Amino acid sequence: MVWNLAPHPGDRDRDEATMRGSRVMQSLQVYQRGDVVFLSSDLSQAMSQWTPLATPLLVREVNAILADRGAVTG
């Protein structure tokens, strides 16, 4: 799985659309398989600049991503 950290501050929607439209991105097998996850700015920031207060957000959001991908059971 590839994680793309969204810029903050920035225009996440524009940047994601640019990445998705990139011929380089479209040529990658990992992208073609659907294994690229574009993170929200909040989640990206919580991962890259972690504080104890970010933990509940990280647990909730990462578990949701993994559950969507069938990686978390129970």
Write the pLDDT tens digit of every residue in 10-42.
677 888 888 889 999 999 999 999 888 888 878
Residue 53's pLDDT is 92
Mean pLDDT for the chain overall: 83
Whole-model pTM: value is: 0.68
Burial pattern 44-53, b for ≥16 Cβ within 10 A else e, equals bbbbeeeeee
pLDDT reading at 50 higher than 90 = no
Domain boundaries, the chain: 2-68
Q: Among 28-32, 42-46, 68-72, whose mean pLDDT is lowest?
A: 68-72
**pLDDT of res. 3:** 63
- Residues recorded for the chain: 74
Alpha carbon 41 to its chain's center: 9
CA distances from 37 to 2, 34, 53, 74 (A): 6, 8, 23, 22
Q: How far is CA 1 from CA 9, 10, 21, 26, 71, in A?
A: 24, 24, 19, 15, 11
